[in-house]
Structure 1
Amino acid sequence: MFAVSLGDDGAELRPLEPWRAEEFLAHMDRGREFVGRHIALADAVTDLASSRSFLQAYADKAAADTGRIHGIWTDGKLVGGVLFRTMDVAQGVAETGCWLEPSAAGRGLVTRAARVIIDWAVEERGIHRVEWRVSSANEASIAVARRLGMTRDGVLRESFRHRGELQDIEVWSVLAPEWRAAGKARRSSP
């Protein structure tokens, strides 16, 4: 089985595939309100059929090379994930995102997992620009964008309706040369 270690705490990053629909639904049920404060994932995955359909859509994106989804596991339990919501290899642009259930928050899991998939996108797939789109109210996700060395490109004012309210969406990004320079600096620091 494919798994990437996320550090000494035993956390792992693995593909999140349709056969994991029951596990994914249980995870969403544990974190539904926490996850749903800022992103629509919690409202999209509400039963086994919608869980399977959501994961199948990402399996189809992976097959078409237009997106990916990976889960974060700690102690054998799915607690969150990272994804490429969109990926246009020809244009060299991808949009990444994340989610976590409350029990996993504050441990750096998303930052570590996002580094793995961004490294893959830049180094293996030739992606030049990785974007992070986030509600201006989602301070934790904005902090991840900062830790990843992203630059705030701007705000799309009232551009996303979530649970009946218009949200401002911040666009953050990192370019391949910036990503490589930051990685080199991380590897050379004690």
Structure 2
Amino acid sequence: MFAIPLSETLPAELRPLEPHHAEEFLAHMDRGRVSVDRFISFASRSTDLDSARATLQRYADRAAADTARIYGIWLDGTLVGGVMFPHFDTTHGIAEIGVWAEPAGEGLGLISAGVRHLIEYALVERGMPIVEWLSSPENTRSRAVAERAGMSLDGVLRSRYPHNGARQNKEVWSLLAEEWLASEQRAEFLASRERLRAARVS
């Protein structure tokens, strides 16, 4: 298992979120359910140990098929949020990125740091031409993360997604590989990653 440090000032790590984390994942969902369930569908499907394990197993199966991935963010040893590829389409070269966090994981820059790792993986390591970001227009935190990553708002898909008994609009944001490669965001990401690597070695 790998663990990637996310902060130069906080004990925070990005790690694969796997079925054996089901109990920890459920406790995390329970702590953040009120805010997470407004926008993230797996919160409403992960309400006991079996359903939490089933959620993570679905992602494990899709990771094995190279069609999705999910990662947790641990702060001082506690799971407080995560980042994911809900869809990883190598045929069409499109990777969708999503995020979530309980209150203890908000406002610390950890979600944005995790997102930059996923962008680098999809656009550089895997050579995908584009990453996408779908979020509710009401989710201002999600919008802010997309903007900080350098994404552009492409438009709004009206009544796109059924969730909690109603159809939700979805904003579509995107970032092209050539934009990321030339961006200040990537330069900052690479510099921070090198500092964190050097700190671990020393």
TM bracket (short chain): over 0.9
Aligned residue in 1 for 2:2 = 2
Runs of 4+ with deviation above 4 angstroms: none
Report 1:71-86 matches (<5 A): 71-86=72-87
Change (3 A) 1:137 1:184: closer
Report 1:165-176 matches (<5 A): 165-176=166-177
Q: Which runs of 5+ in 2 are unaligned?
A: 192-202
Aligned residue in 1 for 2:23 = 22
What CA distance in whole angstroms lies between the structure 2 residues aligned with 1:98 and 1:87? 15
Change (3 A) 1:184 1:114: closer
Paired AA for residue 128 in structure 2? I
- Taking structure 1 as the reference length, the TM-score comes to 0.95
For the residue of structure 2 that corresponds to 1:149, the secondary structure is: coil
| Contact in 1 for aligned 2:86/2:96 (Cα 8 Å) | yes
The percentage of counterpart residues that share the same residue type is 55
**Displacement of 1:37:** 1.8
Matched, 1:162 2:163: yes
What CA distance in whole angstroms lies between the structure 2 residues aligned with 1:176 and 1:84? 16
**Displacement of 1:38:** 1.9
**Displacement of 1:184:** 4.9
**Displacement of 1:10:** 1.3
| Contact in 2 for aligned 1:89/1:126 (Cα 8 Å) | no
**Displacement of 1:41:** 2.1
What CA distance in whole angstroms lies between the structure 2 residues aligned with 1:165 and 1:61? 27
For the residue of structure 2 that corresponds to 1:22, the secondary structure is: helix
Aligned residue in 2 for 1:46 = 47
**Displacement of 1:124:** 1.5
Q: Which string of whole-angstrom CA distances, capped at 9 and with x for unpartnered residues, describes residues 122-167 of structure 1?
A: 1111111100000011010001000000000100012122212222
Paired AA for residue 55 in structure 1? L
**Alignment length (residue pairs):** 189
What CA distance in whole angstroms lies between the structure 1 residues aligned with 2:176 and 2:186? 14
Q: Which string of whole-angstrom CA distances, capped at 9 and with x for unpartnered residues, describes residues 50-88 of structure 1?
A: 111111111111110111100000000000000000001
Paired AA for residue 102 in structure 1? P
Change (3 A) 1:83 1:181: same
For the residue of structure 1 that corresponds to 2:182, the secondary structure is: helix
- Taking structure 2 as the reference length, the TM-score comes to 0.89
Q: Which runs of 5+ in 1 are unaligned?
A: none
| Contact in 1 for aligned 2:136/2:169 (Cα 8 Å) | yes
Aligned residue in 2 for 1:132 = 133
